[in-house]
Structure 1
Amino acid sequence: MSINIATLNTIPTSYASCSLGSPSNPPPLLDRLDAISSAGFSAIELSFPDILSFGKKTLGHEIDPKNYDELCQVASEIGKECQKRKLGIMMLQPFSNFEGWKEESDGRKDAFERAKGWIRIMQACGCDMLQVGSTDTTMEKLDKSKIIPDLRALADMLKEHGFKLAYENWCWSSHAPDWKDVWQIVKEVDRNNVGLCLDTFQTAGGEWGDPTTHSGLLEDVSREELEKRFQKSLEELSQTVPKDKIYLLQISDAYKVPSPLSTEADDSGLRPRGRWSHDFRPLPFNGGYLPVVDVARVVLKTGFRGWFSYEVFDGGSDGKRTEVDIVAYAQAAKSVHKQLLLECAGVEGK
């Protein structure tokens, strides 16, 4: 499908609240909301850690992540602050390590308790979509046969309130690191309120890039074969995923890390692509090297014209940046959005 540039003007834009400013030194939430609104974005993805930090400031004490009465109180206030700035809350994120826990395990009990609590938070802040990342819990702790039933159960819980589930492939996931993996799961879950959260970093960073090699690329095949394989995967995405099953596209690039990351998980259990994701994700056209335009273009080729949401974790090319002019950065993101759409439509430089 060709891309009609006139249709791209209808695409709504969002910015993830957690991702404006230095990953290691985030500015106050209200300052970020001001910057996002003034740059012309129409919504945010509301991050759970932002609810905790804003709650600490407004309530004067640390909030227990399971104290849903207080969390809902804070989320309601954030919703009001967004309304003041004419910002919607497009999605609550990131809901992680939910699906596949073994029967009777503490992890399973916690997962469903969190699901009920997060639904309450969604009601309080006024959003109707929950992002669920494909779990990175180690497979030894999981029962793979539970993944589909668990996601069906969550979808049904959300549907009671008119809410949707956006399932994302995290490229360090233990069971579904690629778009094709989560698409297969979404098809098997077979609920009309379940779709995909696609992401330029998760797709290109999983199937093309590799932070553990000197080249920054997957090296299991030649560069030529890598390009062919990746383009074939993208073409398959454009031809097999219906546009109405894509709920949003998250946008970011990646820096090539200064030196290859260890292939082993760190002390917290985070795999190398997870560490890469945390600090090395700039805006497109700003020092990264992933084929972001290629990913965005094939998503548009499905006919999708829904949310483009900017989710960057820009610690600089060394991953150590601590200070960011968030007003200028948000404005830059809006300019990047325009350039990205032009390049997707093949009119760069015009």
Structure 2
Amino acid sequence: MSDINKGQSIPFPISISEFTTQPWTFEQDVERYAELGITMIEVCEEKLDPQRFQEQLCMIKDHELSISAVQPFVRTFGSSQMQPIPKDMYERLSRLRFSIERLSPFAAGCPFILNTGAPEKGNIDAMVKNTIRELQNLAEFAADHGVSLALEPLNASSMNSESAIWTIAQAMQIIDSVDRGNVGLCLDFWNIWQNANVEEEIGRAGDRIFVLQVSDWRTPQSSGDRLVPGDGIIPIGKLLQTVYQTGYKGACSVEIFSQDVADSLYKTDLKEVIRRSKNGLEEAWGKFINHSISR
């Protein structure tokens, strides 16, 4: 475990999304994150066994981990390429409520991550209006169960297949329209780093940032092609500092997708992916801070 603590520690606890270790089982995720000195986990519901989910979720506390956020099995209002079924929006909402109802006792106070889904026939306006309406209703249900909701704008490459919004500003327009205290923003650097005026937009989001996710960028070779933090071209240190200045106190979750590419990280040593991710975050933070001080 000695090499996992190199560099200058970032000012957020580091969490690992279970999407980062997709080939592992839920049990392997919990055991190996703890073994590597990770203290937080972003739970992906799809990894849970419907017959054993309570037993599985109890493992988190047993291994001295805490939940940073939850990725529900159905997390979009409209159908999407990643989650095409069920097609009907109200069936999707019913499934999402079911997820909140059964997982919230193990994730008190945690954000459940959502995005709009694909606009049907390219009708972005209708998808945005539907999202506002249903988020207002869902927010009350979530509040009754002691959890929050975090809306995630996706990268422009996901438009019309996964999402109707691709900028922080668009997400914040929805969040402001919903106007519920437990509805905020999921900020994923991979998705938003190319936004115009990204630092200003992060600053404007302020205390509405509920979730922070990080990976790194190369020109994608598939819809799931992300890199270990520090291995790509995102100015991670600068963006971490911008988030820190908003007063954000939550976790920094490493969320890496790596499928349908010849050099998939999923085919490598995933323990090493976690080690390199933590070191990459700390090095990015340390280099930016040291550069700022020396100027």
Q: TM-score over 0.5 for the alignment?
A: yes
**Residue 95 of structure 2: which of 98, 114, 119 is its match?**
114
Conserved in 2, the CA contact under 8 Å of 1:76 and 1:124?
Answer: no
**CA pair 187-236 structure 1, distance change in 2 beyond 3 A:** same
Query: CA offsets per residue over residues 13-54 of structure 1, 9 Å max, x none?
Result: 21101212xx5xx02222222221122222111112211xxx
Task: Determine the C-alpha separation between the residues in 2 that align with 1:39 and 1:178.
Answer: 34
CA distance in 1, matches of 2:260, 2:76: 28
Moved more, 132-141 or 170-179: 132-141
Within 1, Cα distance between the matches of 2:91 and 2:25? Answer: 29
CA shift, 1:319, in A, is 4.8
Aligned to 2:75: 96
Aligned to 2:6: none
Q: Secondary structure at the match of 1:19?
A: coil
TM-score using structure 2 length: 0.81
Which of residues 209, 224, 227 is equivalent to 1:282?
A: 227
Partner residue, 1:19: 20
| 1:75 is aligned to 2:72 | no
CA deviation map 1:124-152 (0-9, x unaligned):
53343211123224344955432211111
Secondary structure at the aligned position of 2:43 is classed as strand
Which structure is larger by alpha-carbon Rg, 1 or 2?
1
Unaligned runs of 5+ in 1: 1-7, 56-70, 208-229, 259-274
Q: CA deviation at 1:97?
A: 2.3
For residue 241 of structure 1, give the secondary structure of its aligned residue in structure 2.
helix
Supply the distance in 1 between the matched residues of 2:107 and 2:250 (Cα, whole angstroms).
19
1:1-350 aligned at under 5 Å gives the runs 10-20=11-21, 26-51=23-48, 55=49, 71=50, 73-94=51-72, 95-98=74-77, 107-127=88-108, 128-138=110-120, 139-140=122-123, 142=126, 144-171=128-155, 172-173=158-159, 174-204=163-193, 207=195, 230=196, 233-242=197-206, 244-257=207-220, 275-276=222-223, 278=224, 280-286=225-231, 288-315=232-259, 318-320=262-264, 322-347=266-291
Q: CA deviation at 1:169?
A: 0.6
What is the TM-score of this pair, normalised by structure 1?
0.69
Whether the 8 Å CA contact 2:119–2:127 is kept in 1: the answer is no
CA distance in 2, matches of 1:176, 1:163: 23
Stretch moving more, 148-157 or 122-131? 122-131
Contact residue 79 and residue 126 of structure 1 kept, 8 A: no
Q: Tell me how many residue pairs correspond in the alignment.
A: 272
How has the CA–CA distance of structure 1 residues 348 and 235 changed in structure 2, closer, same or farther, with 3 Å as cutoff?
closer
Structure 1 runs, 4 residues or longer, greater than 6 Å off: none
| Root-mean-square deviation (Å) | 2.9
One-letter code of the match for 1:87? Answer: L
Kept in 2: contact 1:91–1:129 (CA 8 A)? yes
> 5+ unaligned residues in a row in structure 2: which ranges?
1-8, 80-85
Distance 1:98 1:314, change over 3 A: same
Question: What whole-Å deviation, never above 9, does each CA across 1:88-122 have from its counterpart, x for those lacking one?
Answer: 1222105432169xxxx961221221122111232
8 Å CA contact 1:296–1:344 kept in 2: the answer is: no
Give % identity. 21
Amino acid at match of 1:120: E
Shift of residue 10, structure 1, vs aligned partner: 4.7
- Distance change (3 Å), C-alpha of 1:341 and 1:112: same
Q: Which amino acid aligns with 2:33?
A: I
What letter is aligned with 1:325?
D
Farther off after superposition, 184-193 or 125-134: 125-134
